[in-house]
C-alpha cells in the first residue's frame, strides 16, 4: 500500500469537496463539519458526475448532476439508488492529510 500526502486539513473547506489528482487517479476529498476527512473516487456511479462539486451533509455527498446520495464511509449509493464508488483510507497527522492507495 502506498501513502500519498494530498495537502493540509486547512486546505479542505468544511462541508465542501476538493478534487485531487494522483497520476491518472482522480479523488474527491471531503472534510465534514466535525473535521473528519474522507476520500472517494471522484465519479458518481449513475452518470459519472463530479462528486467533488457535490453538497456534503453529515457523512454523505449529494451528486451535483442528479442528487444521488453517496455515503462517504463506504461509497454506497443510498436507496432507492444503487451503485457505489471506491473509498480510500485517509489519515491526518500534524495537520497533513494522507491518502492510502
Residue tagged 492507495 (cell numbers): 101
**Half-sphere exposure (CA, 13 Å, Cβ side) for 55?**
6
Please give the pLDDT value at position 46: 87
Enumerate domains of the chain plus CATH numbers: 3-100 (2.102.10.10)
Residue tagged 489528482 (cell numbers): 21
What does the CA dihedral 26, 15, 74, 37 come to, rounded to 10 degrees?
A: 80
pLDDT tens readout for residues 5-62: 999 999 999 999 999 999 999 999 999 999 999 999 999 988 889 999 999 999 999 9
* pLDDT exceeds cutoff 90 at 71: yes
Amino acid at each position: 500500500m502506498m501513502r500519498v500526502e494530498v495537502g493540509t486539513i486547512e486546505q479542505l473547506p468544511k462541508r465542501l469537496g476538493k478534487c485531487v489528482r494522483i497520476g491518472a487517479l482522480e479523488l474527491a476529498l471531503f472534510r465534514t463539519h466535525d473535521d473528519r476527512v474522507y476520500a472517494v473516487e471522484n465519479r458518481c456511479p449513475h452518470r459519472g458526475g463530479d462528486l467533488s462539486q457535490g453538497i456534503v451533509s453529515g457523512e454523505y455527498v449529494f451528486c451535483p448532476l442528479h442528487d444521488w446520495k453517496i455515503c462517504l464511509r463506504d461509497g454506497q449509493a443510498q436507496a432507492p439508488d444503487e451503485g457505489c464508488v471506491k473509498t480510500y483510507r485517509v489519515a491526518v497527522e500534524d495537520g497533513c492529510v494522507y491518502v492510502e492507495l
